[in-house]
């Protein structure tokens, strides 16, 4: 199922690109297209060249960026990369730090995609690093090709270098943020999911290989990449991206005792399980605050994590999911705030603080799960006593298990409006959740619950229309 509806609200790729228009404009992309029986333009994304051609076409059309993507190097998916940039921009805007921005892109890759998008889209400056000499040279050429050398400095660094050694080269410089999209496979996982390509020596994934015994669904598009772009070559207990970002967290702690430091540390993660592992690691550090969110695009979900040691930087209110509700009038003796609070209490949702037109809420138990089982259990309670006696044990022990696994925190905002008549919630925004669940699911449930309760009221009749 496509996740585009959950994409960042400012991401233009919420709407699928018009392949027909792109094929008309870009001859190279046109060579990878065919016309279906229904008249639609079809693209075979199981071919790496088709994915590469689409990326180059989108960057040229939408951002006036021309990049070289050598065969064998990882081809970035533009909507996904832009989602990460927009999420960081939200953090900076919320903290009024969006002027004179200087970021670090750890592992920029041959495309230098994050730095190029950040410079072109937001006017940010970057120090972009990579341990692969070929990737660093290609990234440097891409920067010069687009006239952004004044904004982006590409550096080839030693394999042991992560953050500290880079920052030491810029004494007395305060970096606004750092970003990272590390390889998230472990060595043995790379061997199971990818095979070497004879022509380029790069690793290629196995599209739609249902026989592969892996814990992730088969990809729908081709990925061709160097081995160091796919797996983390560090030996730590966890392995993979958890090891890489764990080391980044350790270095961020050490950097706080120096005059050079980073305001906000961020990373993208490819595995949901990594978010929980890294959050637990951050919980053990004194003085750190963090937040995590889900980035959705196409049929793929990624996760982002941000942390800071500065007490004046806000992280909690980064909007990750927004749902608009139809605004309508109701007849009720309660104010909008009282009406909303009364129904949120039924879902065991706590109101933490109030604003003029919104409330900030927090849920610590997944009360929206097992709804079908819940309704069946409630129906049994109105059965004759003999049936109820047989079902009460199931009701208590099966449908509502109270365990540490189903307890977590979701923060969200409910925005409402009020005029002469009573008007109920018009907007729900997720503001961060732990890695246990995607915030879209509980937010959608709360929205549907409020809409169902609102439908019980008869709307006011406008006298001007009578």
- Show binding-site residues: 81, 107, 130, 181
Phi, psi of 317 (to 5 degrees): -95, 25
**The dihedral formed by the CA atoms of 83, 89, 93 and 94, expressed in degrees to the nearest 10:** 60
**The dihedral formed by the CA atoms of 380, 384, 389 and 395, expressed in degrees to the nearest 10:** 10
CA distance 44 to 33: 7
Q: How many CB atoms lie within 10 A of CB 224?
A: 22
Binding site for S-adenosyl-L-methionine: which residues?
81, 107, 130, 181
């Amino acid at each position: 199922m496509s996740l585009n509806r959950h994409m960042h609200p400012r991401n233009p790729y919420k709407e699928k690109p018009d392949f027909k228009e792109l094929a008309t404009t870009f001859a190279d992309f046109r060579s990878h297209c065919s016309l279906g029986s229904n008249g639609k333009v079809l693209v075979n994304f199981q071919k790496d060249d088709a994915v590469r051609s689409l990326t180059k076409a989108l960057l040229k059309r939408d951002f006036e960026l021309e990049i070289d993507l050598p065969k064998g190097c990882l081809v970035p998916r533009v909507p996904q990369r832009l989602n990460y940039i927009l999420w960081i921009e939200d953090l900076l805007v919320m903290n009024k730090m969006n002027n004179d921005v200087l970021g670090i892109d750890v592992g920029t890759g041959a495309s230098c995609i994050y730095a190029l998008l950040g410079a072109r889209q937001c006017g940010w400056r970057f120090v972009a690093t990579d341990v692969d000499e070929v990737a660093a040279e290609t990234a440097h050429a891409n920067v010069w090709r687009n006239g952004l050398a004044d904004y982006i400095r590409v550096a080839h660094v030693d394999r042991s270098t992560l953050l500290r050694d880079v920052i030491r080269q810029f004494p007395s410089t305060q970096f606004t943020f750092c970003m990272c999209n590390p390889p998230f496979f472990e060595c043995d996982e790379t061997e199971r999911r990818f095979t070497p390509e004879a022509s380029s020596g790069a690793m290629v994934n196995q599209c739609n290989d249902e026989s592969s015994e892996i814990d992730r669904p088969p990809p729908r598009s081709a990925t061709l990449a160097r081995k160091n772009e796919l797996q983390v070559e560090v030996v730590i207990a966890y392995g993979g991206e958890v090891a890489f970002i764990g080391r980044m967290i350790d270095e961020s702690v050490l950097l706080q005792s120096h005059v050079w430091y980073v305001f906000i540390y961020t990373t993208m993660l490819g595995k949901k399980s990594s978010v929980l592992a890294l959050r637990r690691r951050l919980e053990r550090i004194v003085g750190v605050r963090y937040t995590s969110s889900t980035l959705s695009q196409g049929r793929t979900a990624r996760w982002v994590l941000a942390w800071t040691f500065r007490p004046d930087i806000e992280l909690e209110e980064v909007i990750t999911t927004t749902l608009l509700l139809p605004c309508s009038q109701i007849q009720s003796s309660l104010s909008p705030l009282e009406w909303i609070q009364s129904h949120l209490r039924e879902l065991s949702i706590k109101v933490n603080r109030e604003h003029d037109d919104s409330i900030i809420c927090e849920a610590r138990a997944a009360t929206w799960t097992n709804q079908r089982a819940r309704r069946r259990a409630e129906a049994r309670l109105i059965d004759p006593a003999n049936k109820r006696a047989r079902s009460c044990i199931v009701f208590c022990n099966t449908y509502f298990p109270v365990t540490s696994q189903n307890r977590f925190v979701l923060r969200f905002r409910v925005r409402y409006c009020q005029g002469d008549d009573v008007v109920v919630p018009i907007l729900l925004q997720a503001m961060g959740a732990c890695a246990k669940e995607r915030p879209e699911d509980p937010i959608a449930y709360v929205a549907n619950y409020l809409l169902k309760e609102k439908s019980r009221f008869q709307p006011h009749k406008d006298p001007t229309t009578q």
